[in-house]
Amino acid sequence: MRTFTEHTVDIADNGHVEHLTYRGLLSFQQGEAIWGASVGFRAMQTAGLVLSRTRLWDREFLSVMSAHPGPGVLGAIEYVTHCASRNRFHLLAPTQSTGCHGNMEFRWWVSDSSQCVEIELCHGFVPQQFFEFVDRVRSSKEKADDKSKLEELKQELTRKVLMGPLEEIFYSTDVLNPIPREANQCTN
């Protein structure tokens, strides 16, 4: 039986194929923001499947736009695509907090200059309670057990996103216009 630690993503970079693992992501993240990193890694797995239909997707041509501002998600995107370090990453609403908040979306656009895929976490995957906890923690409305309940919920969501089949976790849509490499913008 496969375990979630065996999740992998293959991607080309400088003529070499890299075999990235979920375990490698955990080392890259150094134990930080694991829920966000897990959902980001699985979203990039989904993008890789779509963008590799005719040939293996290649970091050289990738651009990513994210509607999710969390550091774990950004870490996973960087681990897989290297788009942030190559200045081809764009946050959809950069004026908002760079941390989790109730108005964030679990949605990404990944382009390889010839095609673009929109990836979105299925509606209802993350319960409304998660967003309530996120908004209350570190606010004047925080309750004594909010942080521990939020951490428990994150652990459950991490298990769920890692154990389920991608097609039951994410919607993926081919977008007609790819993200222009220079502008990092995608239109549908």
How far is the C-alpha of 39 from the C-alpha of 169, rounded, in Å? Answer: 9
pTM, 2 dp? 0.86
% of the chain residues with pLDDT over 90: 61
**pLDDT, position 142:** 67
Q: Residue range 133-159: average pLDDT?
A: 84
How far is the C-alpha of 3 from the C-alpha of 186, rounded, in Å? Answer: 35
- Mean residue pLDDT across the chain: 85
pLDDT, tens digit (0-9, with 9 covering 90-100), for 157-171: 999 999 999 999 999
Pairing of β 8-13 and β 16-21: antiparallel
Q: Residue range 147-154: average pLDDT?
A: 90
* Band (176; pLDDT cuts 50, 70, 90): low
Locate the domains of the chain by residue range: 4-175
Find the radius of gyration of the CA atoms of the chain.
Answer: 16
**pLDDT, position 179:** 53
The CATH architecture of the domain made up of 4-175 is 2-Layer Sandwich (3.30)
Higher per-residue confidence, 62 vs 186? 62
pLDDT, tens digit (0-9, with 9 covering 90-100), for 102-132: 557 899 999 998 899 999 999 999 998 887 8
**pLDDT, position 133:** 79
